[in-house]
């Protein structure tokens, strides 16, 4: 996979940039006002806007769509719900094929952006969306429309990645193809101002986890590690301030969260995530926990586990010492920029949002946990983890 020049990526907050291997981007306060200009530059006048039922209005994003010039014809697909399932994708594809847009515009959190990606890619395929998700080689056709993504949360990083999560029959599938990478992203921190506290915590913790997981991933490169650390340098102090004040309303916090989340997304687009994400999906499906919350519940114990990795249980190409060193770098970064450990920071934020702060608080029965845990530990995300994990590692959390 081609590495992304770090100097280019770390300077993207100034305006429109073309990142090699990544979308063009309008980033920064007021960027949403450039939506019409951006769509026109793509030659797109028929726009399918993909969004949820509440965040679209609450964030103020609807005003920028309403202000599009009269030459734009807009159709809405507003059926997005958290943790999108195959039924949402089928409905979106049907809307796409009726309207035949020149661009799909995804607006919202990670779920809305993922649905927009899936619709844009899968609407062009000959096989059913289920077949394409189960067998990626069934995706044979190029995307036939432009894809523009405008997040209203700071955390998923989905705007910068080429993959999307879809659930079918209780199982998580990942659409991971080049066509799912946006042509243009618009990241405006003003769109996150009205996000509820619990959602700010969950999305912020997702971005934090992505940064850390990307940094220690077995697929990490020099470029991805630099991106991950750059993301941490923005996310850690912003999250610490939010934890201390009980609020994400500070404009500086919102700016650093939006920037850090996009950098984290760029990092995981290179590396993918690891075990914290792999183990989170069942908690989301069975217990309804927000994705970022479910990921963050696994992050502290994984940091502790990776800090003691030895050569026999290490799969990182640079060896166990490199994994332990990565943990040290992350924890030193947390202490120097946030004044506390990652465990302390995640605990503070989860408590602030009224969420459980540890797996044991969920009171999960071991017999119900075993099958999904085993599946998670044999997944691609777990294989990307630098430490080999066993069922015993995870079952210890329940006691």
Domain boundaries, the chain: 6-192, 197-398
Domain 6-192: which topology? Rossmann fold (3.40.50)
Smallest Cα–Cα separation from 192: which of 238, 228, 224?
A: 238
Q: Residue 171 has what pLDDT? A: 85
Q: C-alpha distances in angstroms, 79 versus 4, 84, 90, 121, 242?
A: 35, 10, 11, 18, 31
CATH number of 197-398: 1.20.1090.10
Q: Residue 79 has what pLDDT? A: 85
Q: Which residues pair with 108 in a beta bridge?
A: 151
Q: Residue 370 has what pLDDT? A: 81
* pLDDT by residue, tens only, the chain of 399 residues: 232 323 233 334 334 344 456 788 888 999 999 999 999 999 999 999 999 989 899 999 999 999 999 999 999 999 899 989 999 999 999 999 999 999 999 999 999 999 999 999 999 999 999 999 999 999 999 999 999 999 999 999 999 999 999 999 878 899 999 999 999 999 999 999 999 999 999 999 999 999 999 999 999 999 999 999 999 999 999 999 999 999 999 999 999 999 999 999 999 999 999 999 999 999 998 899 999 999 999 999 999 999 999 999 999 999 999 999 999 999 999 999 999 999 999 999 999 999 999 998 988 888 888 888 888 999 999 999 999 999 888 888 876
- Claim: this prediction has a pTM higher than 0.85: yes
**Cα distance between residue 105 and residue 118, in whole Å:** 12
First to last CA, the chain: 41
Q: Do domains 6-192 and 197-398 have the same CATH topology?
A: no
The answer to whether the beta carbons of residues 34 and 26 sit under 8 Å apart is: yes
Nearest 5°: phi and psi at 135?
A: -130, 90
Q: Which residues pair with 377 in a beta bridge?
A: none
Q: How many CA atoms lie within 13 A of 26 on its CB side?
A: 19
Token pair 């450039």 is found at 34
Task: Find all residues with CB under 8 Å of 206, minimum gap 6, and list them.
Answer: 110, 155, 156, 157, 291, 292, 295, 296
């Amino acid at each position: 996979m081609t590495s992304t020049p770090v100097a280019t990526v770390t300077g993207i907050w100034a305006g429109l940039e073309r990142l090699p291997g990544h979308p063009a981007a309008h980033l920064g306060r007021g960027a949403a006002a450039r939506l019409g200009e951006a769509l026109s530059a793509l030659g797109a006048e028929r726009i399918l806007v993909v969004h949820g039922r509440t965040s679209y209005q609450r964030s103020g994003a609807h005003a920028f769509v309403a202000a599009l010039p009269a030459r734009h014809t807009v159709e809405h697909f507003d059926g997005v719900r958290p943790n999108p399932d195959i039924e949402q994708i089928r409905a979106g594809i049907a809307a796409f094929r009726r309207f035949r847009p020149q661009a799909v515009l995804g607006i919202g959190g990670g779920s809305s952006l993922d649905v927009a990606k899936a619709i844009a890619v899968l609407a062009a395929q000959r096989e059913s969306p289920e077949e394409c998700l189960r067998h990626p080689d069934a995706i044979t056709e190029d995307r036939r429309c432009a894809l523009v993504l405008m997040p209203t949360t700071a955390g998923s990083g989905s705007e910068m990645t080429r993959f999307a999560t879809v659930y079918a029959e209780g199982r998580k599938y990942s659409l991971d193809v080049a066509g799912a990478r946006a042509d243009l992203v618009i990241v405006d921190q003003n769109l996150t101002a009205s996000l509820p506290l619990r959602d700010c915590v969950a999305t912020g913790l997702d971005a934090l986890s992505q940064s850390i997981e990307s940094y220690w991933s077995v697929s990490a490169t020099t470029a991805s590690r630099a991106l991950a650390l750059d993301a941490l340098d923005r996310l850690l102090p912003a999250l610490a301030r939010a934890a201390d004040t009980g609020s994400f309303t500070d404009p500086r916090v919102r700016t650093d969260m939006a920037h850090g989340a996009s950098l984290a997304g760029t990092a995981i687009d290179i590396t993918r995530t690891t075990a914290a994400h792999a183990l989170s999906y069942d908690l989301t499906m069975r217990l309804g926990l927000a994705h970022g919350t479910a990921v963050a519940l696994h992050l502290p114990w994984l940091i502790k586990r990776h800090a003691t990795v030895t050569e026999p249980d290490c799969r990182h190409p640079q060896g166990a010492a490199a994994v332990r060193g990565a943990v040290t770098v992350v924890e030193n970064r947390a202490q120097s920029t946030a004044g506390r450990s990652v465990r302390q920071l995640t605990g503070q934020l989860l408590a602030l949002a009224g969420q459980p702060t540890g797996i044991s608080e969920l009171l999960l029965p071991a017999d119900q946990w075993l099958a999904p845990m085993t599946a998670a530990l044999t997944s691609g995300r777990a294989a990307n983890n630098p430490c080999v994990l066993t069922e015993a590692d995870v079952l210890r959390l329940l006691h």
